[in-house]
């Protein structure tokens, strides 16, 4: 009994000393940050009405024609009519944070999408407030809603997500599983994550616990600035959360809060990453930039003189690391803006200035990728000139290129994914219509260590680089 009495004050003293101990050892204490920032984080509830599937409908759809049950149900409907499903209410939950004292709130599009009713609950207040959807952007999963409350509300401001470093502490606040105002801490695990869930993926990754219901909540740096909007989790893993970077979100939210739709720049090209072999074939020092696979006829890039086979290295002076970076940089500009492209063409840099069109309003013109006959073998490919009948069958605009009729296993062509039925249009940006022309290019550029082929495959242009021995 005496031992227990002695231990209790010792434990209490230890708990009181923990913040001081953490600070003394360089560890952050989140108490003040959580208390202050939490005032601006809201709990969002949504409702929408959905029509349930009519009773037995799924079973009925699986019954083949001519089956006795099929006839029974058809006669039943004839006399009594098909029974409708009953409307039901679907409910959802999420998080958000206030960005203006008059009640503008940022959240995810997927939290409020399709909702008939959106309500907001503030911290320490059980009252629900009706919210109006001001604007949303599906491509970046962002939305702005507004509540009308007759008092100034506490707000959060955006920080610089480019400045945050991997390993820095961050705090996530939200409502996971409906547990209001839950605070979790962690670090930035990685930056610039492309999860292929949208065209502009550029996520911050964090190991701060993020769960269903955290969507739309803020990811904060130690200054209390929002450097990300929590958006995604990896259900198959632990401590894998992803947030839209604040620098990507700020421009979009600026439009949404004004009730404007988000308009993005458009080049009118198809692009692909630059592989190591393609970089060798093009004479680049490293595999960087975005390779132009095709240029839509009459599109902004075409009008500015951008060519198929160009590699975009910079946009308005900003480095382009890969095709995804080019997409993001162009989309961050507005239709009508000028985009100065630094291009790699024929072994040297050149520039072209494109007046951007509008993404979503333009239709990519199909780029039809040029001529005639015994099969030859080059780099593991059996090839022959395309004849008139083959050109028509393959959807070519005219008789052009070399048809791949066979690919040897474990050959350079097979290893790089070339298939039977591909048509080789160019080698190192030079038209090739005979095997002699292809071999001449290979011999001429052998010192580069690779040859880049422009293929036409099922109507699409694809660049593939094959290694060659000097």
Residues at the binding site for substrate are 47, 110, 141, 213-215, 231-235
Known catalytic residue at 201: no
292 vs 451: CA distance, rounded Å: 16
Please say if 207 is a catalytic residue.
no
Residues tagged in the binding site annotation: 47, 110, 141, 213-215, 231-235
Residue with tokens 């039901």: 88
Burial status of residue 239 (CB atoms within 10 A of its CB: 0-12, 13-18, 19 or more): middle
Beta strand pairing status for 338-345 and 318-319? unpaired
Q: Which of 110, 181, 294, 310 is catalytic?
A: 110
- The torsion angles phi and psi of 24, rounded to 5 degrees, stand at -65, -25
Query: Judging by DSSP bridges, how do beta strands 381-385 and 402-407 pair with one another?
Result: antiparallel
444: number of Cβ within 10 Å: 13
Q: How far apart are alpha carbons 271 and 322 in whole angstroms?
A: 10
Query: How far is the C-alpha of 394 from the C-alpha of 307, rounded, in Å?
Result: 23
* CA pseudo-torsion sign 274, 278, 283, 287: positive
Stretch (H or E) spanning 58? helix 57-61
Q: Cβ(299)–Cβ(359) under 8 Å?
A: no
The residue from 95, 136, 141, 209 that is catalytic is 141
Half-sphere exposure of 22 (CA within 13 A, CB side): 11
Question: For residues 265 and 356, is the Cβ–Cβ distance under 8 A?
Answer: yes
- Kindly name the residue from 189, 215, 332, 435 that is annotated as catalytic: 215
- Residue pointed to by tokens 């409020």: 112
User: Would you call 373 a catalytic residue per the annotation?
Assistant: no
By annotation, the residues acting in catalysis are 110, 141, 215
């Amino acid at each position: 009994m005496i031992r227990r009495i002695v231990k209790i004050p010792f434990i209490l003293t230890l708990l009181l000393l923990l913040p001081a101990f953490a600070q003394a050892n360089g560890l952050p204490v989140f108490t003040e940050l959580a208390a202050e920032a939490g005032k601006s984080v809201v709990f969002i509830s949504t409702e929408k009405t959905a029509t349930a599937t009519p009773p037995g409908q799924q079973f009925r759809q699986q019954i083949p024609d001519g089956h006795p049950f099929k006839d029974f149900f058809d006669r039943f409907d004839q006399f009594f009519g098909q029974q409708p499903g009953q409307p039901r209410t679907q409910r959802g939950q999420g998080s958000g944070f206030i960005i203006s004292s008059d009640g503008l709130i940022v959240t995810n599009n997927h939290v409020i999408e399709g909702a008939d009713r959106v309500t907001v609950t503030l911290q320490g207040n059980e009252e629900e407030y009706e919210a109006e959807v001001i604007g949303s952007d599906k491509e970046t999963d962002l939305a702005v809603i507004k509540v009308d409350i007759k008092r100034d509300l506490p707000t959060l401001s955006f920080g610089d997500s480019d400045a945050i470093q991997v390993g820095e502490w961050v705090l996530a606040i939200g409502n996971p599983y409906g547990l209001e105002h839950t605070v979790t801490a962690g670090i930035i695990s990685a930056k610039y994550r492309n999860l292929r869930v949208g065209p502009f993926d550029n996520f911050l990754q964090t190991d701060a616990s993020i769960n269903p219901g955290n969507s739309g909540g803020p990811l904060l740096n130690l200054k209390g600035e929002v450097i990300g909007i929590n958006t995604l989790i990896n259900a198959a893993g632990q401590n894998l959360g992803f947030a839209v970077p604040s620098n990507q979100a700020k421009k979009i939210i600026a439009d949404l809060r004004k009730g404007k739709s988000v308009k993005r720049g458009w080049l009118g090209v198809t692009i692909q990453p630059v592989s190591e072999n393609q970089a060798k074939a093009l004479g680049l020092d490293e595999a960087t930039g975005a390779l132009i696979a095709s240029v839509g006829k009459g599109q902004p890039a075409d009008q500015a003189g951008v060519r198929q086979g160009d590699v975009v290295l910079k946009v308005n002076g900003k480095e382009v690391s890969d095709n995804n970076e080019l997409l993001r940089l162009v989309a961050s500009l507005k239709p009508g803006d000028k985009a100065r492209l630094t291009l790699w063409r024929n072994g040297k840099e050149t520039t072209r200035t494109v007046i951007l069109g509008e993404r979503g309003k333009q239709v990519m013109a199909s780029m039809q990728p040029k001529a005639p006959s015994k099969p030859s073998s080059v780099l593991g490919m059996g090839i022959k000139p395309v004849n008139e009948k083959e050109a028509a069958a393959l959807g070519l605009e005219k008789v052009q290129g070399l048809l791949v009729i066979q690919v040897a296993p474990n050959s350079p062509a097979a290893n790089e994914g070339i298939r039977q039925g591909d048509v080789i249009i160019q080698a190192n940006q030079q038209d090739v219509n005979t095997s002699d022309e292809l071999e001449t290019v290979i011999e001429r550029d052998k010192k580069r260590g690779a040859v880049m082929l422009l293929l036409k495959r099922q109507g699409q242009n694809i660049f593939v680089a094959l290694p060659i021995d000097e």
